[in-house]
Amino acid sequence: MDKIKRLFKQLFEQIRNFDMGLHGAAIAFFAIFSTAPLIIIVVWVLSLVLGGETGQAQLQQTLYAIVGNDIADSIQEMAVTASRSSSGFWSSLAAAVTLLFGATTLLSQFKYSLNMIWEVPEPETGMVVVFLWNRFKALLFIGAVSLLLLLGLISESILYGMERVLILFWGTGDLFMVQMSSTVTNILLAMAFFVTLFKVLPDVVMRLRDVAAGALFTTLLFMVGKMLVGWYLSESALEPAYKTAGSFVIFLIWIYYNVQIVLVGAFFTREYTRMFGGEVSYRERSFKTPNSDRS
């Protein structure tokens, strides 16, 4: 119990000394330009496996379940607008390069913030190598997210089949377990996303169990925050007040708030690992991070 108290004391101290607002604003700014390209690439990856309409429908269904209807509609609208481009080889090539650069910029900024939390030293390699490596890791992360969404589709299909069987044999009164299973699936999907985020983006190597502990904590914060933000948006008059920009403002508020949650989760992962977990090393260098908080 003393260690847990010390863990949260360290967590609050680190959060207080870290400029959360600045990092949240920076990531929210990049999200303006990067979210639509990111969604387009994810839909494209899903479409390769599932087909165009199925991939887009699966992404929309997952967004509805995880972030809520208002935010999901805003994201989808941004993606549809950004996907309208002129025909022709050079214009298509320019659009593809812009999509890749835009989609990876947000994740690169996220990586920068996570590296600051983990106190990762500046790499000794050249800036061009670092830039290309960061973009490659961002694309790797996009591929991992696409795989998670594909697994989500498979699980939802299984649950839908179970629901049909229950309705066929027992009517509609015994669907509680199926609905609970769907909720648990969405929670596990969110947790898997945070595991991937904390494992892939920062330049640190740590045990999967330590990452999972931080991802679980972040998921709980995310679920509570989803309800609070949903309640705030339903009670406030943001969309009528900002008129045509209302959806855009709602999206920015949602991004900013959830960035704070992810950063808090990253700090929790760091403090938990230093106090209870295994050794952590940097990817770019062989130095070990101090685990001085253990006793």
Q: Which of 120, 112, 110, 118 is nearest to 141 (CA)?
A: 110
Residue 48's contacts (CB-CB under 8 Å, 6 or more residues apart) are 55
Structure confidence at residue 209 (pLDDT): 92
Structure confidence at residue 122 (pLDDT): 74
The least confident of 52-56, 139-143, 289-293 is 289-293
Structure confidence at residue 267 (pLDDT): 94
Structure confidence at residue 3 (pLDDT): 84
Please state the separation of Cα 91 from the chain's center in Å.
30
68-101 pLDDT per residue, tens: 666 667 666 666 665 555 445 555 566 667 667 7
253-284 pLDDT per residue, tens: 778 888 899 999 999 999 999 888 888 888 75
30-66 pLDDT per residue, tens: 777 777 666 776 677 666 666 656 666 666 666 666 5
H or E element, residue 281:
strand 281-282
C-alpha 234/C-alpha 209 separation (Å) is 37
Sign of CA pseudo-dihedral 14, 19, 25, 30: negative
The mean of the pLDDT values for the chain is 74
Cβ atoms within 10 A of the Cβ of 86, count?
Answer: 9
Per mean pLDDT, which of 14-23, 78-87, 117-126, 155-164 is the most reliable? 14-23
Exposure b/e, 54-64, CB count within 10 A at least 16 = b? ebbebbbebbb
pTM: 0.74
Angle of helix 246-276 versus helix 89-117 axis, rounded to 10: 40
Q: How confident is the model at residue 162 (pLDDT cuts 50, 70, 90)?
A: low
Cβ proximity of 38 and 103 under 8 Å: yes
Residue 56's contacts (CB-CB under 8 Å, 6 or more residues apart) are 43, 46, 47
